[in-house]
Structure 1
Amino acid sequence: MTADVELPDDLEAVREALVEWYEDDHRDFPWRRTDDPYAILVSEVMSQQTQLERVEEAWTAFLDRWPTTAGLAAADRSDVVGFWTGHSLGYNNRAKYLHEAARQVESEYGGEFPERPGELEELMGVGPYTANAVASFAFNEGDAVVDTNVKRVCYRAFNVPDDDAIFEDVANRLMPEGESRTWNNAVMELGGVACTKRPRCDEVGCPWREWCSAYASGDFTAPDVPTQPSFDGSRRQFRGRVIRTLREYDELRLDELGHRVRVDYSPEGTHGREWLEGLLEDLSADGLVTIDTRNGERVARLRR
C-alpha cells in the first residue's frame, strides 16, 4: 500500500541534514560499533520493550559469556534463560528463541548468518522488524527500519497517516539507496533523542526543523502521543500555513500573506492584519520568521 504523501522537494538536503546531525553527535551504544550480525541480533532481541540504557550492561555480559553463535548453540538452554531472568530482560521466550536461532545458524547455515531480511526471518523468533534491523546494521542490506520512534518522526515531520503500510512506504522513500546502516541508525536516533513524546527540537538541534510540519504548527500529536485540542481553525493550523506559504513564495507583504493563509482574511477585520502580526510575532520568537519594513510596508520571510 502506498499513499500520496508529499515529501520535500529538496529531499537530498533533508537526508544530508539528518546524517550530518547523527554523525556529529549520537549516543554511543556498543552495538553501533560492530557489524557482527550475532552481536546485533542479541542487541535487537534484548532491546524489545526494554530501555537501551538498561540493555547495555546485559548485552556486554551476554557476549562475554557466549561470544559466538557456536558458543550459544552449545549452551544449556536453562543457563540462557537463567541469564535472561537474572538481568530482568523479561519475556523468557525471547531467550529460548535466541538460543534456537543460534542453533539454526550453526546447523543450517554453517555458522554464517544470512544477509537479507527475508532469509533472516527464517531464524526462530526473528520477525520482519528484527530481520530488517540485522540486515541493515550488520550488512547494510536492509530496507527502512520502522519502529515507534520512526513512526512518530514521519507522522510529525511529513504528515504521514497513522497506517503501518504507509509508514513503511514513506520511510523507504526517505532512505538513500544503499545506506540502510547509517540511515536507519540516524532516523531512529532522531526519534529517540529529539522527536520524543515530549519533543526537544531546539534543545538538541533537530536537523529537520526547517521541513517539519509539527515544528511549524506547534502540533506535536503523534500515534503514541495523546491528541491535542482540535487542529482545524487553530493557531497551530495557521502557523503551519504561514510557514508553507513563505516556503513557496520566499517573502510576502503582510496582506498578500494574509489572503493566502485564510480565505476570510480582511486587513481591518477580526482575522486581519493585527491577528496576522500576532501570529508572525510568535513565529519570529520561535526563530522561524523574520518581519521587516520595506518601503513603508511590513514584509515577512522565512529565517534562514
Structure 2
Amino acid sequence: MSDADADVDSGTDEPSVPDDLEPVRESLIAWYEADHRSYPWRETDDAYEILVSEVMSQQTQLDRVVDAWEDFLERWPTTAELAAADRADVVGFWTDHSLGYNNRAKYLHEAAGQVEAEYDGEFPETPEELQELMGVGPYTANAVASFAFNSGNAVVDTNVKRVLYRAFDVPDDDSAFEERANELMPAGRSRVWNNAIMELGGVACRQTPRCDEVGCPWREWCSAYATGDFTAPDVPTQPSFEGSRRQFRGRVIGTLREYDELELDALGHRIRVDYVPEGEYGRAWLEGLLSDLADDGLVEVEKRNGETLARLTR
C-alpha cells in the first residue's frame, strides 16, 4: 500500500503528497499547456500589466475584468502615464467599470508613482521588494513576481487551497497550504506552475468538481476522487472523518488495491473491526457503500456462484 493509500485508510490528518513529485508536476503542466482559458494577462510578462490584472481581479470575476483591463491599459499604458494621471480620473474609471473598492484605484495610482520615483520606472522583481509598493500585499506581490519575473513562490488562493485540501488531504491551515504548495512547485517554474494550479482549481476542482469532464490530471493521486468526498474549506463541511462514509469508502479503495478481488464478508472484516454480516454494519451496509462506489465508476461488484465479489474498476 502506498503512503497516500495509508493516509486515506487511516483517516489521519497527515497530508498525502506523493513521494515522487515529478509525475504530479509534469502531468499538471502538460494538462495546462494543452488547453487553458485564455486571458490577455497570461500572454504578457509585463509587470505593470500583470499588477493591473491582479488588482482588478480581487473579488471580481475574471471574465468581467478583461474589458476593463484592456480599456485601462489603452488609457494608461505605462506606469509613467498612470502616475501622471489625475487620481480622480483613475478612481472614476474604477467606478465606471464596477471594479469594487475605490481605494484599489488609489493604491494602484500611488504604486505607479513609486515605480517611477523610487525605481526609475523599473519594477522590483522579488515578492519582498514588490510589497514595498502601495496596496501590494503578500499575495499580489508573489503573483507579480511569479507571472512577470518567474521568481515567485507558490501562489495560494482559494482555488489552490481547495485543490490541495481535496487532492492531498492538506489540513485547512494557511501555513500548511503554503508549505505544501511550495513543496509541489518545481524550482524556477513559478510562472507556468501557478497559472496551472489555479487553472486546475478554477476549471476542474471547482466547488462542484468536474474531474472526469475536464480530464483532471491528478485523479490517480487525489484523495477526494478516491473517496468521493469533495469537501473543501470553501465548500460546506460534512460530518467528522472518523467513522464517516468517506473514511470507509477510502478503506474499501485502499483494501481493494491490495487484492484482485474480495468476497463481501472478507472485505467487510478488513475495513472495520465491528463488521458483522447480519449486523448494523454488515452486508447491507457494505453493499450500499459498494453501490455508491460503483455508481462513481471506482469499483465493480459481481455475483458469482452465490457470492458477492468486489474489485477496483479496471
> Would you say 1:279 and 2:289 are equivalent positions?
yes
> Would you say 1:85 and 2:108 are equivalent positions?
no
Secondary structure of the 1:204 match is coil
Q: Which runs of 5+ in 1 are unaligned?
A: none
After TM superposition, the structure 1 = structure 2 runs for residues 47-58 of structure 1, keeping only pairs within 5 Å, are 47-58=57-68
User: Is contact 1:19–1:182 with CA below 8 Å preserved after alignment?
Assistant: yes
User: Is contact 2:44–2:148 with CA below 8 Å preserved after alignment?
Assistant: yes
Structure 1 Cα separation of the partners of residues 122 and 200 of structure 2 = 32
Q: Is the alpha carbon distance of 1:116 and 1:226 closer, same or farther for their aligned partners in structure 2, counting shifts above 3 Å? A: same
User: Is contact 1:46–1:89 with CA below 8 Å preserved after alignment?
Assistant: yes
What TM-score results when the alignment is normalised by the length of structure 2? Answer: 0.87
Structure 1 Cα separation of the partners of residues 228 and 14 of structure 2 = 23
How many residues are treated as equivalent by the alignment? 301
Partner of 1:132: 142
> Would you say 1:99 and 2:109 are equivalent positions?
yes
Partner of 2:215: 205
> Would you say 1:141 and 2:158 are equivalent positions?
no
C-alpha displacement at 1:260, in angstroms?
3.0
Higher relative contact order (CA 8 A, sep 6+): 2
Match of 2:124 among 114, 120, 124: 114
What TM-score results when the alignment is normalised by the length of structure 1? Answer: 0.90
Q: Is the alpha carbon distance of 1:302 and 1:166 closer, same or farther for their aligned partners in structure 2, counting shifts above 3 Å? A: same
C-alpha displacement at 1:156, in angstroms?
1.5
Partner of 1:196: 206
C-alpha displacement at 1:86, in angstroms?
0.9
- Of stretches 264-273 and 225-234 in structure 1, the one that deviates more from structure 2 is 264-273
> Would you say 1:19 and 2:29 are equivalent positions?
yes
After TM superposition, the structure 1 = structure 2 runs for residues 157-172 of structure 1, keeping only pairs within 5 Å, are 157-172=167-182
Match of 2:40 among 30, 36, 42: 30
Q: Which runs of 5+ in 2 are unaligned?
A: 1-12
* Amino acid aligned to 2:103: N
Partner of 1:253: 262
C-alpha displacement at 1:298, in angstroms?
6.2
- Of stretches 100-109 and 268-277 in structure 1, the one that deviates more from structure 2 is 268-277
Across the aligned residues of Structure 1 and Structure 2, the Cα RMSD in angstroms comes to 2.3
Q: Deviations over 1:158-196 (max 9, x none)?
A: 221111111111111111121111111111111112212
Match of 1:265 among 258, 275, 299: 275
